[in-house]
């Protein structure tokens, strides 16, 4: 699955980086993962994950890794 589009500029969507971060945090918590658990599973640092959840980073490659670790579609993070 290819996931290389800029999620902050999806057509017809008015998603902000903060909304994407909140969706990731919600998905992580729903899965019962801590930031540390997700860090170990994705290979990202806890700081990287925190920045993503705060909306400071929406790198598609990192979002794809998080989606795979949480066993959800990357589009889960961009659904309104």
Total tally of structural domains belonging to the chain: 1
On whether residue 10 sits in a domain, the answer given is: no
Query: What are the angstrom distances between the C-alpha of 16 and each of 31, 41, 67?
Result: 23, 26, 18
Q: Give the model confidence (pLDDT) of 1-37 as tens digits.
A: 444 445 444 443 446 888 999 999 999 999 999 999 9
Residue 15 has a pLDDT of 64
Question: 69: domain range?
Answer: 15-75
On whether residue 33 sits in a domain, the answer given is: yes
- CATH number of the domain bearing residue 36: 1.10.260.40
Distance CA 49, CA 24 (A): 9
Full-model pTM: 0.77
On whether residue 30 sits in a domain, the answer given is: yes
């Amino acid at each position: 699955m290819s996931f290389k589009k800029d999620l902050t500029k999806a057509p017809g969507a008015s998603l902000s980086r903060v909304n994407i971060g909140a969706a990731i945090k919600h998905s992580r918590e729903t899965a019962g993962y801590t930031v540390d658990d997700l860090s170990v599973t994705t290979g990202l640092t806890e700081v990287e994950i925190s920045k993503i959840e705060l909306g400071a980073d929406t790198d598609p490659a990192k979002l794809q890794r998080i989606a795979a670790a949480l066993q959800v579609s990357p589009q889960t993070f961009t659904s309104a």
